[in-house]
Amino acid sequence: MGLYEQHILPRLIDVVCGDRSFGWWRAEASEGLGGTVLEIGFGSGLNLPHYPEQVERVLAVEPSTVARKRAASRMRAAPVQVDFIGLDGESIPAEDDSVDAALCTFTLCTIPDVDRALAEIRRVVRPGGEFRFLEHGLAPDAGVARWQYRLDGIEQRLAGGCHLTRDPLELISRAGMDVTASRSAFARGPRPWTYLTVGRAVA
Ligand SMILES: C[S@@+](CC[C@H](N)C(=O)[O-])C[C@H]1O[C@@H](n2cnc3c(N)ncnc32)[C@H](O)[C@@H]1O
């Protein structure tokens, strides 16, 4: 991995994904969570301020050393205990049915074998537990989607493998989970990147 991917990109992601306009979306994604929550693609810990106080422990999976270091101050400020347990959502070092819920924000777009990661989430979340998600994805508007397909290759090269054309609801359903609630809308910012979907699925 080069200097850009290792050192610059995680800092850029921290700034871009840390935009205040995403705060409401993040709060909606984690509303009502409790117990032990697995967060895949923990990044720099931008969801921590939004976890409800009922969350007792966060098990974090995150490959980027720089992102994990940038999370340190947020972890100190958070009332919840965070333990880094792994580096790759495609292979989560946790027992079957061992967490109450899982959370993924702006990460299903990037994990190379996303089907495998979703199968891992299903395996680790206890029966009846929820998978919560907040993702950008393929827009329903033909004009925006055309630009998303045009820009997809450049995006993958510049943004660490991020795809603009994945459909999170389709991926989650394909993984055998039932989406029980979801809301999609354009957030502030350039449209190929800002068609967001927040929701819940039962694993
Ligand atoms: C766009 S960032 C989002 C970070 C954070 N979830 C947020 O909402 O701010 C995508 C994150 O996925 C992580 N990631 C990339 N490949 C991954 C993998 N195979 N398993 C888990 N996380 C991965 C990246 O290191 C990065 O932190």
pLDDT in tens, 6-52: 999 999 999 999 999 999 999 999 999 999 999 999 999 999 999 99
**Phi and psi based region of residue 162 (left: phi greater than 0; alpha: psi -120 to 50; beta: remaining):** beta
Domain spans in the chain, listed from the N-terminal domain onward: 3-202
CB 203 within 8 A of CB 180: no
Question: Tens digits of per-residue pLDDT, 147-171?
Answer: 999 999 999 999 999 999 999 999 9
| Residue from 159, 177, 176, 168 nearest 198 by CA | 168
Straight-line distance from the first to the last Cα atom of the chain, in angstroms, rounded to the nearest whole number: 33
How far from chain centre, in Å, is Cα 97?
A: 20
pLDDT in tens, 52-86: 999 999 999 999 999 999 999 999 999 999 999 99
Residues with CB under 6 A from ligand 1: 13, 17, 40-41, 43, 46, 61-64, 67, 88-90, 105-107, 110-111
Q: Which of 62, 64, 113 is nearest to 90 (CA)?
A: 113
Cα(145) to ligand 1 centroid in Å equals 23
CATH architecture of residue range(s) 3-202: 3-Layer(aba) Sandwich (3.40)
Phi, psi for 163 (deg, rounded to 5): -100, 140
Q: What is the pTM of this model?
A: 0.97
pLDDT at 1 over 80: no
* Beta pairing partners, 185: 196
**Tell me, what's the pLDDT at 203?**
79
pLDDT the model gives residue 38: 98
